[in-house]
C-alpha cells in the first residue's frame, strides 16, 4: 500500500500522511469470525489506572485471527484483504476447499485469488506455513511459534519479519528485525513472507484527535509535573529531570535493562539485540 498525503485545507490536514487503503475490502467483517471487545480504559478490576495513557477511542469488533494455522494440508484461497483496527497489519480472509473460512495475517505480495496451504512440506511462497524442519535456510518468515502448537507469537506487527539462518541440534536459528539471534524448536511453525503494511510507521496523524480515536490519551512529561506527582517534578524554571531519569515509581528508565536474566528462554538467545550498540 502507498502513502497518501493531503492538501492543507484545514489545520488537521497540514502534514497529514496516511496509508492508502483504497484496495482493501470496504464492507463489514465476517460475523462468525468476530467477537465483542470491551474497553477498560487502562483500569484493573478495582478501578485503578494500571496502564497510563489509555482511554476512549472508537468502538471495535475483534477479528479472530488464526495464528496456529492448525488446518493442515488443506488448500485455501484468499477471498479478500481487510483492515483490522486491532492491529497494525492487514488481515486476509481465506476460504478452504471444504468451505471453512478464517482470518490470517496478510503477508506482503499476497493478493485476492492466491492459493495458500499449511503443512509439513509445502512450497516456499508468501502465505504458506510450515515448520522450520521443512524450510530452506535463508527463508524470510513471520508469525513464528515459540512453542510447537501454541500459535505464532513473534513477527506479527506491520512490516516485520525474521530470517531463518541455520539449524543446530533440533533447533532453528532465526535473526529478528531487532538484530537479535535466537533459537526456536524446529517443530515450530512459521509463515513465509514479511507482514503486510510496511509503511505503517511512516504515517503522520496530523492532529491529536486521530490518536484519541485510537484510544490513546495524552502523554505528560514528568519534568512539567509537581514534586508530588513525579520524581522529576518541581524546581525553579525549566529543569531537565536530573542525572538519573526514573519512572513515577522510582524505577530507573531510559536505557535501564529490565529483562529477567534468569528467564527460561534466556538460554535460547544466541546474540542480544543490544550487541550492535556495544560495537561487538
Give residue for cell 488481515.
91
The topology (CATH level 3) of 19-200 is OB fold (Dihydrolipoamide Acetyltransferase, E2P) (2.40.50)
Do residues 24 and 2 lie in contact, with contact meaning Cβ atoms separated by under 8 Å?
no
What pLDDT does 176 receive?
96
Q: How far apart are the C-alpha atoms of 242 and 239, rounded to whole Å? A: 8
Burial of 44 (0-12, 13-18, 19+ CB in 10 A): exposed
CATH 2.40.50.140 in the chain: give the residue spans.
19-200
Q: How far apart are the C-alpha atoms of 223 and 254, rounded to whole Å? A: 14
Judged by average pLDDT, the poorest of 162-171, 190-199, 208-217, 254-263 is: 254-263
| One CATH from 4.10.950.10, 3.40.640.10, 3.40.190.10, 1.20.1050.10 for 220-280 | 4.10.950.10
Please state whether the predicted TM-score (pTM) of the whole model is above 0.85: yes
DSSP helix/strand/coil, 224: helix
CATH 4.10.950.10 in the chain: give the residue spans.
220-280
Q: What is the pLDDT of residues 209-256, one digit of tens each?
A: 999 999 999 999 999 999 999 999 999 888 887 889 999 999 999 888
Give the number of other Cβ atoms within 10 Å of residue 216's Cβ: 16
Amino acid at each position: 500500500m502507498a502513502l497518501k498525503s493531503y492538501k492543507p485545507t484545514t489545520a488537521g490536514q497540514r502534514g497529514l500522511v496516511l496509508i492508502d487503503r483504497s484496495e482493501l475490502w470496504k464492507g463489514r467483517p465476517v460475523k462468525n469470525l468476530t467477537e465483542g471487545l470491551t474497553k477498560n480504559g487502562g483500569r484493573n478490576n478495582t478501578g485503578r489506572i494500571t496502564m497510563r495513557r489509555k482511554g476512549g477511542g472508537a468502538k471495535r469488533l475483534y477479528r479472530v485471527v488464526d495464528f496456529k494455522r492448525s488446518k493442515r494440508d488443506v488448500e485455501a484461497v484468499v477471498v479478500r484483504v481487510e483492515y483490522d483496527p486491532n492491529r497494525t497489519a492487514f488481515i486476509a480472509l481465506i476460504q478452504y476447499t471444504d468451505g471453512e473460512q478464517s482470518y490470517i495475517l496478510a503477508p506482503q505480495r499476497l493478493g485476492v485469488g492466491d492459493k495458500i496451504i499449511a503443512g509439513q512440506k509445502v512450497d516456499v511462497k508468501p502465505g504458506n506455513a510450515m515448520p522450520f524442519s521443512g524450510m530452506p535456510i535463508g527463508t524470510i518468515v513471520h508469525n513464528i511459534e515459540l512453542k510447537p502448537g501454541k500459535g505464532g507469537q513473534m513477527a506479527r506487527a506491520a512490516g516485520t519479519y525474521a530470517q531463518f539462518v541455520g539449524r543446530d541440534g533440533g533447533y532453528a536459528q532465526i535473526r529478528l528485525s531487532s538484530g537479535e539471534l535466537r533459537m526456536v524448536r524446529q517443530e515450530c511453525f512459521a509463515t513465509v513472507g514479511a507482514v503486510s503494511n510496511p509503511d505503517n510507521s511512516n504515517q503522520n496523524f496530523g492532529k491529536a484527535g486521530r490518536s484519541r480515536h485510537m484510544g490513546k490519551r495524552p502523554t505528560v512529561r514528568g519534568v512539567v509535573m509537581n514534586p508530588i506527582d513525579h520524581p522529576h517534578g518541581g524546581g525553579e524554571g525549566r529543569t531537565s529531570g536530573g542525572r538519573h531519569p526514573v519512572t513515577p515509581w522510582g524505577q530507573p528508565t531510559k536505557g535501564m535493562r529490565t529483562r529477567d536474566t534468569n528467564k527460561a528462554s534466556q538460554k535460547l538467545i544466541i546474540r542480544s539485540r543490544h550487541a550492535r550498540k556495544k560495537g561487538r
